[in-house]
Amino acid sequence: CGVFGIYNHKEAPQLTYLGLHALQHRGQESAGICASDGEKWYKHRGMGLVSEAFGKGDLEKFKGHIAIGHTRYTTAGSSKIENAQPLFFRYAQGSMAVAHNGNLVNAAVLRKELEAKGSIFQTTSDTEVIAHLIARSERPDLPGAVKDALQHIKGAYALCVMNQNQLVIALDPNGLRPLSLGRLGDAICVASETCAFDIIGAEYWRDVQPGELIIVDENGIVETSHTEKTQRSMCIFEYIYFARPDSDIDGINVHMARKRLGKQLAKEASIEADVIIGVPDSSTSAAIGFAEATGIPYEIGLIKNRYVGRTFIQPSQELRERAVHLKLSAVRKVVEGKRVVMIDDSIVRGTTSNRIVRMLREAGAKEVHVRISSPPVMNPCFYGIDTSSREELIAATKSIEEIRLAIEADSLSFLSVDGMLEAIGREDSAPNRGHCLACFTGQYPTEIDFEEALPALK
């Protein structure tokens, strides 16, 4: 998901709307904004892309100097309007809105406990658990109640909570998801990725630190923490696949990091070939890096159709097969008669790679060598990215040679874990240089109650 927040700007909701467009890649299932002018609330949520969720007139009615927004990618809870964020609540101390990126790992347990005490839940989202905990706190002030609530939750959360005159920002003790702060004149903004600052003309200030709690209101900014027990483990998949290439996470530009992943992959698994191609869009940077390191020319061998809707109806197997060509097509003149190296950022189920290898052969490629700019994904993610259960992950049950056969490639190599860490180049004395690597190594940075956490991932 993507979160955005801004305080102290007369066009706060309009800027949030722009910010959400920049965070669209982080979630396409729903979008929403909550804003306030200090008294009244303004809110709207809708399904689909930001441009679909907000129709004509929806934004015009918004006013306010404070706003938060959200783009949703479903990992916990189902894809329906009740679960669209920001969630809005009235409670004993007033009202609040909550926008959350990340997945809690103990939401199911907490929900059961809260329900046993009489709480009535209106959504299936883990974010509502946070709201109930805030409402139950004995602290009358919002920041205090948020701090109280965070003592109970475990997992990944980049969080924006607001009432009519305060913006409260928090990041989990592991800093699993990215969250950055920016300034626009006298306004303070917060976003999942720095690309949202560029779109509104804000200046990057700094990244939110693991365990931090930041309060922005008319008295200024309070930079404090909700826990002392922190250890950074930033999701490495943000760099590999999820984040936008023009964003910087902890000062490391995502495009440059991907290029270095491609270069490192070339070091580890070079091959004689005629042309390097990437799977658009997320693998383009790595493919350029691989080409630079090997001296083999980079070419645009695959074209993505930007206009294909996400809900294409696939009535028969034959039409389903053709649907692959709707999204991607090969540039025949680039691959025909050539030994092609196809770079992708990751293999999860293996279906994408298989389809593309076939497509390249249909277009006349003589050989297709697949190079993946990350290690094999062998474990599920509980923190809000890959939702696949272990059975769905091709690398969980198959050897690399078996995967090669399944995707019908002439050769296949993955990047090593050490090579990946070296290429991203984060300087951090924490384990794994301050990254979460759990989907590759199985070592989760938080406690996980597998029985509770797994069924929640639907």
For 232-282, give the DSSP string.
Answer: --EETHIIIIIS-TT-EETTEEHHHHHHHHHHHHHHHH----SEEEE-TTT
Residues that bind ligand 5GP (rule: CB under 6 A) add up to a total of 16
Q: Is 343 in the site for Mg ion (CB under 5 A)?
A: no
436 assigned ligand-binding residue: yes
Q: How far is the CB of 407 from ligand 5GP (least distance, A)?
A: 9
420 binds, among Mg ion, ligand 5GP, ligand SF4, none (CB under 5 to 8 A by kind): none
Inter-axis angle of helices 284-294 and 254-269, nearest 10: 50
Binding track over 214-243 against ligand 5GP, x by CB under 6 A:
-----------------------x---x--
User: Quick one: CA dihedral 399, 401, 404, 405, positive or negative?
Assistant: negative
125 assigned ligand-binding residue: no
Beta bridge partners, 348, equal none
Q: What are phi and psi of 76, to 5 degrees?
A: -120, 130
Q: How far is the CB of 308 from ligand 5GP (least distance, A)?
A: 14
Q: Under a CB-based contact definition with an 8 Å cutoff, are residues 99 and 158 in contact?
A: no
Q: How far is the CB of 453 from ligand 5GP (least distance, A)?
A: 17
Q: 422: closest CA among 378, 385, 373, 386?
A: 373
Q: What distance, in Å, lies between the first and last C-alpha atoms of the chain?
A: 16
3-class DSSP assignment, residue 28: coil
Q: How far apart are CA 108 and CA 183, in angstroms?
A: 37
Place of tokens 């923490």: 225
Q: How far is the CB of 304 from ligand 5GP (least distance, A)?
A: 11
Q: How far is the CB of 377 from ligand SF4 (least distance, A)?
A: 8
Tell me the two tokens of residue 377: 């994904």
164 binds, among ligand SF4, ligand 5GP, Mg ion, none (CB under 5 to 8 A by kind): none
439 assigned ligand-binding residue: yes
Q: How far apart are CA 207 and CA 197, in angstroms?
A: 12
Between 164 and 379, CB nearer to ligand SF4:
379
Half-sphere exposure of 248 (CA within 13 A, CB side): 14
34 assigned ligand-binding residue: no
Between 386 and 410, CB nearer to ligand 5GP:
386
336-395 binders of ligand 5GP (CB under 6 A):
344-353, 385-386
436 binds, among ligand 5GP, ligand SF4, Mg ion, none (CB under 5 to 8 A by kind): ligand SF4
235 binds, among Mg ion, ligand SF4, ligand 5GP, none (CB under 5 to 8 A by kind): ligand SF4
Q: 160: closest CA among 146, 148, 149?
A: 146
Nearest residue to the partner Mg ion, using Cβ: 282
- For ligand SF4, the binding residues (CB under 6 A) are 176, 235-237, 381, 383, 385-386, 436-439
249-308 binders of ligand 5GP (CB under 6 A):
279, 282
Q: How far is the CB of 381 from ligand SF4 (least distance, A)?
A: 3
**202: which DSSP letter?**
P
Q: Under a CB-based contact definition with an 8 Å cutoff, are residues 79 and 27 in contact?
A: no
Residues designated as active site: 1
Between 76 and 188, CB nearer to ligand 5GP:
76
Q: Is 279 in the site for Mg ion (CB under 5 A)?
A: yes
Q: 213: closest CA among 227, 203, 196?
A: 227
Between 87 and 279, CB nearer to ligand 5GP:
279
Q: How far is the CB of 375 from ligand 5GP (least distance, A)?
A: 11
Between 141 and 428, CB nearer to ligand SF4:
428
Between 7 and 242, CB nearer to ligand SF4:
242
345 assigned ligand-binding residue: yes
Task: Please state, as a whole number, how many other Cβ atoms lie within 10 Å of the Cβ of residue 75.
Answer: 21
Helices (H), 23-164: 50-53, 107-116, 127-136, 142-150
Q: How far is the CB of 397 from ligand SF4 (least distance, A)?
A: 18
Residue 113 burial (CB < 10 Å; 0-12/13-18/19+)?
Answer: middle
Between 7 and 237, CB nearer to ligand 5GP:
237
Q: Under a CB-based contact definition with an 8 Å cutoff, are residues 204 and 189 in contact?
A: no
78 assigned ligand-binding residue: no
84 binds, among ligand SF4, ligand 5GP, Mg ion, none (CB under 5 to 8 A by kind): none
Between 140 and 442, CB nearer to ligand SF4:
442
Our measurement of the distance from residue 143's CA atom to the centroid of its chain's CA atoms, rounded to an integer in Å, reads: 26
381 assigned ligand-binding residue: yes
Residues making up the binding site = 235, 282, 344-345, 381, 436, 439
Q: Which residues bind Mg ion (CB under 5 A)?
A: 279, 282
Contacts to ligand 5GP by CB under 6 A: 237, 241, 279, 282, 344-353, 385-386
> Which residues define the annotated binding site for [4Fe-4S] cluster?
235, 381, 436, 439
